[in-house]
Amino acid sequence: MYVFNFYPIPRKSINFRSDVDDLGFLRPWSPQEESGCKKQYEAWYSSYLPIVVRRRCRWEKENPRRNSHLLQRFVRKGIPHTFRKELWLRSCPSRADGVWQRHEVPDEVIKQIKLDLPRTFPDNKFLKTEGTRKTLGRALFAVAEHIPSVGYCQGLNFVAGVILLVVNDESRAIDLLVHLVSQRQEYYGKNMIGLRRDMHVLHSLLREHCPRVVVTLEKLDVGLDMLVGKWFVCWFVESLPMETVLRLWDCLIYEGDEWLFRIAVALFRSNMIAISSCESIDQLMTEVQNIGTSKAALYCHQLILKSAALSITNKSIEALRADAELAIPE
Amino acid sequence: MAARNAGTARPGGPNRTCQFKLVLLGESAVGKSSLVLRFVKGQFHEYQESTIGAAFLTQTVCLDDATIKFEIWDTAGQERYHSLAPMYYRGAQAAIVVYDITNQESFQKAKNWVKELQRQASPNIVMALAGNKADVANKRTVEYEEANAYAEDNALLFMETSAKTSMNVNDIFMAIAKKLPIGPAQGEPTGTVDMNQPQQQQKGSCCK
pLDDT band, very low/low/confident/very high, at B83 (cuts 50, 70, 90): confident
Nearest to A229 among B48, B53, B58 (CB): B53
Q: Which residues of A touch B48 (CB under 8 A)?
A: 119, 122
**Structural domain count, chain B:** 1
Residue A56, H or E segment: helix A38-62
Return the CATH number at B150: 3.40.50.300
Residue B142 backbone dihedrals phi, psi, to 5 degrees: -115, 115
DSSP β-bridge partners for residue B126: B94
In a domain, B10, yes or no: no
Average predicted confidence (pLDDT) for chain A: 92
Q: What is the mean pLDDT of residues A140-150?
A: 98
Give dist(CA A280, CA A286) in Å, integer: 10
In a domain, B204, yes or no: no
In a domain, B41, yes or no: yes
Pair A95, A178: CB distance under 8 Å: yes
Quick check: B190 pLDDT over 50? no
A30 touching chain B per CB within 8 A = no
pLDDT band, very low/low/confident/very high, at A37 (cuts 50, 70, 90): confident
A111 touching chain B per CB within 8 A = no
Which of A26, A10, A14 shows the shortest CA–CA distance to A81?
Answer: A10
CB pairs under 8 A between A and B: 76
Average predicted confidence (pLDDT) for chain B: 86
Instruction: Give span(s): CATH 1.10.472.80, chain A.
Output: 193-326
B contact test, residue of A115, A154, A157, A159 with most B CBs within 10 A: A154
pLDDT band, very low/low/confident/very high, at A19 (cuts 50, 70, 90): confident
Q: Pick the residue from chain A with its C-alpha nearest to B48.
A: A119
DSSP state of B2: P
DSSP β-bridge partners for residue B99: B131
Q: How many residues can be counted in chain A?
A: 330
In a domain, B36, yes or no: yes
pLDDT band, very low/low/confident/very high, at A18 (cuts 50, 70, 90): confident
Q: What is the mean pLDDT of residues B132-145?
A: 98
> Contact A229/B48, CB-based, under 8 Å?
no
Which of B117, B96, B205, B66 shows the shortest CA–CA distance to B160?
Answer: B96
Q: Which residues of A touch B46 (CB under 8 A)?
A: 122
Angle made by CA atoms B57, B59, B61, in degrees to the nearest 5: 165
ipTM, 2 dp = 0.89
Q: Which residues of B touch A192 (CB under 8 A)?
A: 80-81, 83-84
Domain that holds residue B31: 16-179
Quick check: B197 pLDDT over 90? no
Residue A274 burial (C-beta neighbours within 10 Å; 0-12, 13-18, 19+): middle
pLDDT, tens digit, 9 for 90 and up, residues B140-177:
999 999 999 999 999 999 999 999 999 999 999 999 99
Quick check: A1 pLDDT over 50? no
* Fold type of domain A193-326: Cyclin A; domain 1 (1.10.472)
In a domain, B155, yes or no: yes
pLDDT, tens digit, 9 for 90 and up, residues B37-52:
999 999 999 999 999 9
Pair A162, A281: CB distance under 8 Å: no
Give dist(CA A168, CA A162) in Å, integer: 10
Q: Which residues of A touch B76 (CB under 8 A)?
A: 154
* Fold type of domain A95-187: Helicase, Ruva Protein; domain 3 (1.10.8)
Residue A104 backbone dihedrals phi, psi, to 5 degrees: -70, 140
- CB neighbours (10 Å) of residue A282? 17
